[in-house]
Amino acid sequence: MRPADKTRRKPKLKIGVLYGGRSGEHDVSLCSAASVVAALDKSKYDVVAIGIDRGGRWYVQDQPEIVVDKAFGKILSLKKRGLWLVNHFEQKNKLYIYNLETSGEKVFVDVVFPILHGTYGEDGTLQGLLELAMVPYVGVDVAGSAVGMDKDIAKRLLKEAGIPVVPWITVSKHDWLEHPKNILNHAGNQLSLPLFVKPLCTGSSVGIKKVKVKKELADAINYAFQFDTRIMIETGIDCREIECAVLGNNNPQASVPGEILPQHEFYSYEAKYLDPEGAQMNIPAKLPAKLSAAIRQCAVAGFKALNCNSMARVDFFLDKKTNQFYLNEINTLPGFTSISMYPKLWAATGIQYGELLDHLVDLALMRHREKSAIKTD
C-alpha cells in the first residue's frame, strides 16, 4: 500500500455566487458579483454563478462572464439559459439546482456567497431559504439581516442599547394616504430642517430625497413610497460621513474608519454608482485617535446589538460642529465592487480582497458547524 500523500490538496469547495435579484439594487449586485467572482482563489474554489433576474427566476451561468456596462462598468453577465429550480433534499449541506428545461441537468454548491443587495437578498428572505436548506452561506443570518434591513427597527434597538442615533419618525403608506396633513405637521413639530426622507427597507440610497423647505416634504414622501410601504423622515445634520467595516462571528473586529466625501449634495445613488467623480474616499479617515477608537468600538457594539455576524458595514454621521457621532445604519450585505468601501477598509487594515473572501467563507462554515450541533429532536 502506498503511503498517504501528505501534500495532497484539500478538495476544492464549490462556491455558488448568487447575484442579481428582485431589487432596486439589481444592477449594483451585478457589479459586486463581478468583483467577487474575479477575486475568489480558483486554486481553492470552483465558482458557480447563479443569476436571479428581476422577476425572481434563477439561471445558472455555465461560464461566468464579466462584461462592461456603459453605466456601471464591469458587471457579471446574467444570461437566461434554462430555468432552474432549487432543491436541497438530495444530500445534506449541499444546495442542488435543477434545470427545468432539460432532463437530469443539475449543479450543486457547498457554500453560497449571496451578493444580492436590498430586498429579497439582504433582508433575511434568502437567508431563511438557505437555513431551511441547511446550506452554509456567507453573511449575516436571518435575524440580523431582517433587523438590519428595517431602518426603524434597527434604530429602536440601537437606541435601546445606548447607541446615539439621529431623531426620526416612521410613516406607513396607509397612514399617509389617510392623514397627510397630520403627518406633515407632526414632522414639522418633531424634526428640524433639513430633512431626509428614506424608504425603510432599501439600500444604496435608493428613493432618498433631501428636503430643505417644508413645501418639498410631501413630494419627497410620495417619491419614497414608490420604493416601500413604510418610510422614514429623519433630521439632517451638517456632518461628515464615516464608515467602518466589521468582520467576525463571536469576536467581531472593526476596521479603520474611512470617510466618504460626496461631490453631490449628499451621498446619493448617482454619486455612488453612476458618476465616476461622485464621491471621494479618505481611508483611513482623518480623525483624532480617541475619536477613531470610539467609532470602531461603537461599530462593534452596534453590530452586536442587531445580532449580526460574519460581516457588515457600519455607517456614521459625525457632526462637523460638535464632533458628536451618530450611528446611521448597518449594511449587512455591503457593496463588493472594486470601489466599495467594505473591501477597501479591510485592505487599509491589513486584509486584502482575496484574503477577505477566504475569511468570509471560513466564517460561514464555522457558523454552519455551530448551528448544526443544535439539537432539533
* Identity of the highest mean pLDDT range in 4-8, 258-262, 323-327: 323-327
The predicted-structure confidence for 240-291, as pLDDT tens digits, reads as follows: 999 999 999 999 999 999 999 876 555 445 544 444 555 689 999 999 999 9
Sketch out the chain's domains with CATH numbers. 13-137 (3.40.50.20), 148-164+238-371 (3.30.470.20), 168-235 (3.30.1490.20)
Q: Pick the catalytic residue: 32, 35, 309, 331?
A: 331
Local structure of 28: helix, strand or coil: helix
| Sole residue written with cell 427545468 | 100
118 pLDDT band, cuts 50/70/90, is confident
| 3-state DSSP of 274-313 | HCCCCEEEECCCCCCHHHHHHHHHHHHHHHHHCCCCEEEE
Quick check: is 9 catalytic? Answer: no
pLDDT for 276: 52
Q: What's the CA gap between 330 and 302, in Å, rounded? A: 8
The predicted-structure confidence for 332-347, as pLDDT tens digits, reads as follows: 999 898 778 999 999 9
pLDDT for 1: 37
The predicted-structure confidence for 189-199, as pLDDT tens digits, reads as follows: 999 999 999 99
Quick check: is 331 catalytic? Answer: yes
Q: Pick the catalytic residue: 124, 335, 342, 353?
A: 335
φ/ψ region of 158 (left if φ > 0, alpha if ψ in -120 to 50, else beta) reads alpha
Quick check: is 335 catalytic? Answer: yes
Quick check: is 59 catalytic? Answer: no
Quick check: 158 and 306 in contact, CB under 8 A? yes
pLDDT for 64: 86
| Mean local confidence (pLDDT), 31-46 | 94
Quick check: is 5 catalytic? Answer: no
Q: Pick the catalytic residue: 96, 137, 329, 353?
A: 329
Q: Pick the catalytic residue: 19, 96, 273, 342?
A: 273
Least confident of 63-72, 282-291, 352-361: 63-72
Report angle CA 70, 71, 73 to the nearest 5 degrees.
70
Quick check: is 51 catalytic? Answer: no
Q: Percent of the chain, pLDDT > 70?
A: 88
Mean pLDDT in the chain? 87
Least confident of 39-43, 157-161, 199-203: 199-203
| DSSP β-ladder status, 279-282 and 258-262 | antiparallel
Q: Enumerate residues 6+ apart whose C-beta is below 8 A from 151.
A: 198, 200, 201, 232, 329
pTM of the model: 0.87
pLDDT for 2: 41
φ/ψ region of 307 (left if φ > 0, alpha if ψ in -120 to 50, else beta) reads left
Q: Pick the catalytic residue: 110, 313, 328, 340?
A: 313
The predicted-structure confidence for 87-97, as pLDDT tens digits, reads as follows: 555 556 777 77
| Mean local confidence (pLDDT), 69-90 | 73
Quick check: is 326 catalytic? Answer: no
- Give phi and psi for 77, each to the nearest 5: -60, 145
Quick check: is 265 catalytic? Answer: no
Report whether pLDDT(167) > 90. Answer: yes
pLDDT for 87: 56
pLDDT for 5: 45
Least confident of 23-37, 149-163, 359-373: 23-37
Local structure of 196: helix, strand or coil: strand
Q: Percent of the chain, pLDDT > 90?
A: 64
pLDDT for 7: 45
